[in-house]
Chain A
Amino acid sequence: GQQVMQIPQYQHVQEGEDFTTYCNSSTTLSNIQWYKQRPGGHPVFLIQLVKSGEVKKQKRLTFQFGEAKKNSSLHITATQTTDVGTYFCAPSGTYKYIFGTGTRLKVLA
């Protein structure tokens, strides 16, 4: 079955530093979504990537889908304390999404 690995599992950064999380799949993906979950909260949909090599930006967040559609990344430029939370990638499976294990980001002020 489809396996999704996210790295790193945890990341602590100083406020203002950049942050990147990677999502790797054992199989080619049709599309992938990214979610953010604040501590104690619920996941919130950020974006969906569909095309090979696609790059999308949301303010300080840059999302990329690999050329082979087997990996994806989320990069945050100049982190802020509001970026704290767990970031999940979610590749689509048959009729449902499979969530990765997530990367927990802690931003130190």
Chain B
Amino acid sequence: DGGITQSPKYLFRKEGQNVTLSCEQNLNHDAMYWYRQDPGQGLRLIYYSQIVNDFQKGDIAEGYSVSREKKESFPLTVTSAQKNPTAFYLCASSTGVNYGYTFGSGTRLTVV
């Protein structure tokens, strides 16, 4: 079955450490996105990529970095520069901007 996989589901890291969240899709979607969700809040866009080797900053890109070397993969690195990294991170993909998103099951990151 086609889908989008995020790993790990739960992640704990010490403050000051960089951490990379994985996102893989086998839907052959061109566009991929990373969102952050804080408890009881909506989704805020971190980065998005419309095609391989190209990505754009979203509304809250500071302290995060991404790469898009393959169509299937869009990993997100949460750097030590992100001041409040504890959150629920959601990866999504779509055929294009006028099509519905397919979301992964998310990664809950806790920084202690």
A residues with a Cβ closer than 8 A to B are: 31, 33, 35, 41-45, 48, 88, 90, 92, 95-102, 104
Contact = CB atoms under 8 A, between A and B. Distances in A.
Most buried by B among A48, A95, A97: A97
Q: Mostly helix, strand, loop or mixed at chain A's interface? A: strand
B48 A42 contact: no
A42 B100 contact: no
Contacts of B103: 42-44
Contact of A42 (B33, B44, B90): B90
17 contacts: A33-B101, A42-B104, A43-B101, A45-B101, A45-B102, A88-B43, A92-B98, A95-B48, A95-B97, A96-B48, A97-B101, A98-B45, A99-B35, A99-B42, A99-B44, A100-B42, A102-B42
B17 interface: no
- Interface size range on B against A: 20 to 34
Interface of B: 31, 33, 35, 40-45, 48, 50, 56, 58, 90, 92, 97-106
Nearest to A100: B42
A48 B99 CA distance: 8
A42 B99 CA distance: 17
Contacts, number: 50
Contact of A45 (B35, B41, B98, B100): B100
A35 B90 CA distance: 14
Most buried by B among A41, A43, A88, A100: A43
Closest 5 pairs between A and B when the two form their complex, measured CB to CB: A45-B100, A99-B43, A42-B103, A101-B42, A99-B42
Given A88-B42, A101-B42, A42 B105 contact: yes
Contact of B98 (A31, A88, A102): A31
Contacts of B50: 95
Given A43-B43, A88-B42, A95-B56, A48 B105 contact: no
A35 B37 CA distance: 14
A102 B92 CA distance: 18
